[in-house]
Amino acid sequence: MSVSDIDLIQAWKQVLTLSRLEAGQTVTVLTGADTHPQTLRCALAAASDLGARVNRLDLPPVNAEKSLSRDSLAYLGTTPLTGNPAAIAALKASDLVLDLMTLLFSPEQHDILQTGTKILLAVEPPEVLCRLVPTEADRARVQAAARLIEAAGEMHITSEAGTDLRCRIGTFPAICEYGFVDQPGRWDHWPSGFVLTWPDEGKSEGRVVLDRGDVLLPMKDYVTDPITLTIEKGYVVRIEGGLQADILKEYMASYRDPEAYAVSHIGWGLQPRAHWSMLAHYNKETHIGMDARAFEGNFLWSMGPNNEAGGARTTACHIDIPMRHCTVTLDGQPTVVRGVVQDEAGRAHAALRKDGL
């Protein structure tokens, strides 16, 4: 069901207030060809009503001749800001950038953030934004999970389907995504609600078995038959299975880049208001799958770049894979057990689901 402008403006105001927007600050709304018109007009209205000086910067799309998908995360690195110093200067001069276009994994984004400008990405449909308005409780929960990662040296992931993956961690920071930008130079994504880090280079070993119902992004497909990925020295060296495995292999091979097969970020979802089943309700081209990335208790891992965490690996290919029913341990201590987050909120939510509520 669609949402009213009144509801979406109120949602924007909540997020902008959490992001510490103050009257007189400069907000630039970055838009592109696929920006949702309701999201745009409500963002402009909310920021203006809060007293900000609001600009809009609209840039034409790039990468159409290279990407196999319309998804904004299907081809990374080159953005409309690449080689565009005038646009970059405008964003650097802003206190807050509302990214309704998608700048992820670009050096220009890092450059802008280093000036203290905050960037909030928001490209999901309006009704998803309204359902997943972030809260301070979301932040506290994600930050608590990040502290667990920061204290650990190994993440071990297993599942009854056959996953058994060990990743050494500690070189790269733990990243909190909770849906708003409350510190200078912070990037976040509304909606979100998960924690992640990147394995030490070359220090992931084992096997990942994708089971029925796990999710492939940016394809936005549920896995229907098992796919086995063998990981050696931090890279996926074999992808085995049926038709979907063949599609995944062909898609990744089209980038002609061995770095596409590196294990990228690893972590788990912490957002109980996100739904694993959301993909079944939307046309693929209307969203980028943030429910799948954030739903509580998933194990979210990926292949591709690590430059978002300060690493040197860049590649245009990025595959996100949210998995169900996994167990995640840090130095032997469970943080997720068969898809149930092992904090007070996670156990309470699991009990409600068990009771059918």
**Pair (142, 215) in one structural domain:** yes
Of 268, 274, 311, nearest in space to 291 by CA: 274
- What is the reported pLDDT for 357? 52
Phi, psi angles (nearest 5°) of residue 216: -105, 125
Higher-pLDDT residue of 302 and 67 is: 302
Residue 64 has pLDDT above 70, yes or no: no
**Pair (272, 329) in one structural domain:** yes
The stretches of 235-309 forming alpha helices (DSSP H) are 243-253, 290-294
Q: Which domain holds residue 80?
A: 5-130
**Pair (164, 293) in one structural domain:** yes
- What is the reported pLDDT for 58? 97
**Pair (99, 175) in one structural domain:** no
For the residues 7-31, what does the mean pLDDT come to?
98
**Pair (41, 185) in one structural domain:** no
ω before 85 within 30° of 0 (cis)?
no
pTM strictly above 0.75: yes
**Pair (175, 265) in one structural domain:** yes
Query: Using CA atoms, how far apart are residues 278 and 290, in angstroms rounded to an integer?
Result: 9
**Pair (18, 161) in one structural domain:** no
- What is the reported pLDDT for 100? 97
pLDDT digits 0-9 by tens, 171-185:
999 999 999 999 999
User: What does pLDDT average to over the chain?
Assistant: 94
**Pair (183, 258) in one structural domain:** yes
Domain count, the chain: 2
Boundary residue ending a domain (99, 130, 161): 130
pLDDT digits 0-9 by tens, 314-349:
888 999 999 999 999 999 999 999 999 999 999 999
- What is the reported pLDDT for 314? 87
For the residues 81-98, what does the mean pLDDT come to?
96
**Pair (185, 302) in one structural domain:** yes
**Pair (116, 142) in one structural domain:** no
Boundary residue ending a domain (113, 130, 147): 130
**CATH for 97:** 3.40.50.2300
**Pair (342, 194) in one structural domain:** yes
How many other CB atoms sit within 10 Å of the CB of residue 215? 25
